[in-house]
Amino acid sequence: MTASEIHDPLVPEGVARPPPDEEVPTESARRRRVGPIVAVAMFAGLAVAAGLVAAPFVPLRENVITGVVLLGFSVGWALLAALTMRWSDQPQEWAFVPAAFMAASGGVLLVSSETTVPGVLDWVWPPVLLALVIWMVTRAHRQLRSRSRRLVLYPVFAALILASVGGGYQTVRATVDAQANPMVGQLVDVGGHGLHLRCTGSGSPTVVLEPGLGEISSIFAWVEPAVAQDTRVCVYDRAGRGWSESGAGPQDGVQIATDLHALLDNAQIPGPYVLAGHSFGGLYVLAFADRFPEDVAGLVLLDSTAPKSSSDNAGSYSTLSRAGAVLPTLARVGGSRLVCFSSYGSLPRQARDEERAMCATARQVHSAVDEFIQSPTAMAQANALNDLGGKPLAVITAANGHDAKWFAAQDNLATLSTNTVHRVISGATHASLLEAQDDADAATRAIRDVVASARTHQPLPPS
């Protein structure tokens, strides 16, 4: 007789005994499993969302990135419902509801165009999400008897509530900001989209100011009126930035230079021009000078990003670009306001308010991310310019916040012309060259010197 055939007095006649190598989970064991299941499900959802964002086949567009994040989170909620129903005595069927909601929302975003993300949806999703989270909290409180409710789910619920409240505040505040900061200047069509342009002063050559990455025309608030005392000066916003409309296609150096040339031509502002670019704006004025040399009277590079070959650091830019693709989504829930509203304090009040209002919008963040994605291409395009001849060129470098490699690159920029000057501004930083009035005076002086040299055909003063 085998061991399996020995009668167990605790097992009623006619009831099959389980094989000795199989265990039947006790009620307490099944109950203990619910905590790890909750943690694993939530972590899995986060991991799937992060994996989809990092996947190279996922396009770096706001609607797509937001859509795949929601799909990833929906996996976590679906796992919570399915696994607790199968492996615990506390089934959380209610989790199928947020799973379905996030999957449906993500699917809608994936099949939508990028322009459908803002607008009506910004007013709808915050209250809908808040109502859903309140319902989820009630269900979890009633049906989940585990510390994981407090340790795992409640923090998740808190994050969702913050997102809904932040999204609602962002939508309302953006509407108020738009009314408080109307466009001053004109919107000029450049072929499918309009660019904001504002010109003041009189005289020639006309100075054109090019903001840096993520900035709008208001960043030149100290420089613009000072230069306008000597000549005509124009500031503008690139596509998708400030008061300008979004453009189609990638915003690399050639596209930005082409847009700027069409803007000046359609606005009937004759050249040649003195172009002054700050930071990434330096790349764009270099690309302009390479593409339209006959329309350039001189250049001013204000702590400019240096041109490079397209292969330099391309991998690191690609990685950072993919990570930065989530920033417009974070801006849509109010995340960028925390940064923007502690910045630009040294600008004049009106310009500060305009910068803060525009900086906080998802549209502005999206535009900055798109330019950053195209930066290796823009650097290579700017690198094509290797000779300005005798046209005046002023290279202005901030003394603080840079390493030796940056200063060497600035020295190299100064070799593009035979009529050049390179000034290092003591005490200045990359941002303060425009934001702080004293440091902005150095930028203004450089622009005035280049204008005077272009007018008189005399060499630039050395200091």
Confidence check: pLDDT of 36 > 90: yes
Partners of 417 in beta bridges: 389
Peptide bond just before 272 cis, omega within 30 deg: yes
**pLDDT tens string 149-205:** 999 999 999 999 999 999 999 999 989 998 999 999 999 999 889 999 999 999 999
**pLDDT tens string 101-152:** 999 999 988 887 665 555 667 888 999 999 999 999 999 999 999 999 999 9
**pLDDT tens string 370-409:** 888 888 999 999 999 999 999 999 999 999 999 999 999 9
Reported as a pLDDT band with limits 50, 70 and 90, residue 249 is confident
Span of 3-7, 288-292, 299-303, 458-462 with lowest mean pLDDT:
3-7
**pLDDT tens string 425-441:** 999 999 999 999 999 99
**pLDDT tens string 194-242:** 999 999 999 999 999 999 998 999 999 999 999 999 999 999 999 999 9
Q: At what angle do helices 120-143 and 154-180 cross, to 10 degrees?
A: 160
Reported as a pLDDT band with limits 50, 70 and 90, residue 453 is very high
Top-confidence residue, 334 or 162? 162
Cα 279 to its chain centre, rounded Å, is 17
Confidence check: pLDDT of 244 > 70: yes
**pLDDT tens string 290-331:** 999 999 999 999 999 999 865 455 555 566 667 677 888 888
pLDDT of residue 161: 96
pLDDT average, residue stretch 67-72: 94
Task: Report the distance separating Cα 365 and Cα 62, nearest Å.
Answer: 10
Q: Are 277 and 283 in contact (CB under 8 A)?
A: yes
pLDDT of residue 449: 97
Top-confidence residue, 61 or 99? 99
Reported as a pLDDT band with limits 50, 70 and 90, residue 11 is very low
Torsion over CA: 3, 5, 6, 9 (sign) = positive
User: What is the residue-averaged pLDDT of the chain?
Assistant: 88
Q: Are 354 and 181 in contact (CB under 8 A)?
A: yes
pLDDT of residue 370: 86
Angle at 105 between CA 73 and CA 150, to 5 degrees: 35
Residue corresponding to tokens 């030796």: 404
Confidence check: pLDDT of 363 > 70: yes
pLDDT of residue 313: 56
pLDDT of residue 308: 83
Question: For residues 341, 343, 348 and 351, what is the CA-based torsion angle, rounded to 10 degrees?
Answer: -60
Closest CA to 257 of 280, 225, 224, 226: 280
Top-confidence residue, 42 or 26? 42
pLDDT of residue 5: 43
Q: pTM of the entire structure?
A: 0.84
